[in-house]
Amino acid sequence: METTNNNKTVVHTFTLEKLGCSGCANSVERILNKMDGVIKATATFKPSAATVEYNPDIVSPTDMRTAVQNGGYDMIIN
Ligand SMILES: [Cu+2]
């Protein structure tokens, strides 16, 4: 098990793509919230966006994008 004493977190809002309804937003939220390093993620359909609080020492936006893409959606890193 990896431990860290670093409490540094970042909050960023990412644009989401390929969402068809609010259920898709819930799916993206679940995908992100189960990732190591993600403290809290909330996603909405309109606008299609995810606000994520995360520890950048553990997880990167690229990791999140890959996970979201594996779920059939897409996330823009901006
Ligand atoms: Cu949907």
**pLDDT tens string for the chain (78 positions)?**
455 555 799 999 999 999 999 999 999 999 999 999 999 999 999 999 999 999 999 999 999 999 999 999 999 997
- Residue 1 CA to chain centroid, in angstroms? 22
pLDDT of the residue at 78: 77
Note the pTM of the prediction, 2 decimals.
0.89
pLDDT of the residue at 77: 94
Distance 6 CA to ligand 1 centre (A): 36
Distance 24 CA to ligand 1 centre (A): 4
Q: What is the DSSP letter of 18?
A: S
pLDDT of the residue at 3: 53
* Contact call for residues 27 and 19 (beta carbons, < 8 A): no
Among the CATH numbers 3.50.50.60, 3.40.50.2030, 3.40.50.2300, 3.30.70.100, which is that of 11-76?
3.30.70.100
Q: In what order do the strands lie in the sheet with 49-54?
A: 38-44, 49-54, 10-17, 74-76
Distance 39 CA to ligand 1 centre (A): 24
